[in-house]
Amino acid sequence: MPKIAILSDIHGNATALEAVLADAKAQAVTEYWTIGDNTVRGPEAERVMQLLDQVEPTAAVLGNHEQNYQKVLAATPKSFTKPKQIMATILTDFDRQQLTKDHFQQLLDLPITQTKQVGPLTIRLQHVLPDFVSGHTLAPTEVQPNFDKAASGNADLVIYAHTHQPLMRYSTRGQLILNAGTVGLPTAPRPALRQPRAMYLILTIDDTGLQAIDYRQVDFDWQQAIEIAKKRQLPYLEFYTETLRTNAYQYKPSAVAAYNDAHQLATQARAILMKTV
């Protein structure tokens, strides 16, 4: 009977991923799928990829941050100047300096969707929509037509990511839609719901269908993750450390823009892109 661990939004946090993989092993997980954003924002992109290599995921899809790698490689200093584009340029450069050539290419080559057949279930994996990997279309409180669009096609079960919020709901046609939350950057909109735990889920499936959905929350040493980020001189360190400390989202465009201006990061990003083109 397959027990599949769904891992999403690891964001370069190897400390959290190690805790999740230990928990998954204790739960007798037999298979691993990743739903995008394995890297970026955290300090240990290469270590994350090494840990994933150890469990050999049998499915993986592109996240918006892996897509940003692609965008940075195709950008010019004049075409990539918005605040979050500046941040993407700098964080891509940070990750690329530590990732092996093979791991970086592996992340560039991820598909936008992947479909798996497990027992009688057709399961589609996607970071957001089947043809789009970013945006707020599938925020947990969004309207039903958005989720119907996410479940277009014939999949029985759709698994997405990106929002960092665990979710279970249905399309109008009765397809099950799941989100595992986030391994590496736990956040919640309401203070009383914020917890410094890594999130993932386990699907148990047999020949008759889906037997169990287990949403997991795992303690990890978030203070150690912050210390690693400091030692590695992670760009945008304040955003990362405050997210882990408060479990509240910090990367708002206005805050990023102010930070870029205060630290003259547009100049740094321009220099990076000059080397890339």
Strand, helix or coil for residue 262: helix
pLDDT at 26: 98
Distance CA 198, CA 10 (A): 9
Distance CA 162, CA 132 (A): 11
Evaluate if residue 276 carries a pLDDT over 90: no
Evaluate if residue 277 carries a pLDDT over 80: no
Q: Contact at 8 Å (CB) between 161 and 180?
A: yes
Distance CA 101, CA 190 (A): 40
Q: Which residue's entry shows tokens 């929350």?
A: 217
pLDDT at 275: 86
Q: What percent of the chain has pLDDT over 70?
A: 99
pLDDT at 1: 79
Average pLDDT over residues 95-101: 97
Evaluate if residue 249 carries a pLDDT over 70: yes
Distance CA 100, CA 113 (A): 24
Q: How far is CA 198 from the centre of its chain?
A: 12
Question: With bands split at pLDDT 50, 70 and 90, how would you rate the model's confidence at 238?
Answer: very high
Which tokens is 4 given? 């599949």
**E-only strand ranges, the chain:** 3-7, 31-34, 59-60, 113-118, 121-126, 157-160, 167-170, 176-179, 197-206, 209-219
Average pLDDT over residues 28-45: 98
Query: Which positions ≥6 away from 124 have C-beta within 8 Å?
Result: 113, 114, 115, 116, 130, 153, 155, 157, 158, 159
Residues 141-179: tens digit of each pLDDT:
999 999 999 999 999 999 999 999 999 999 999 999 999
pTM for the whole thing? 0.96
pLDDT at 244: 98
pLDDT at 167: 97
Q: Contact at 8 Å (CB) between 201 and 166?
A: yes
pLDDT at 204: 98
In CATH, the number for domain 3-113+194-271 is: 3.60.21.10
Q: Which residue type occupies 162?
A: H
Residues 59-85: tens digit of each pLDDT:
999 999 999 999 999 999 999 999 999
pLDDT at 230: 98
pLDDT at 247: 97
How, if at all, do strands 176-179 and 167-170 pair?
antiparallel
pLDDT at 165: 97
Round the average pLDDT of the chain to a whole number and report it.
Answer: 97
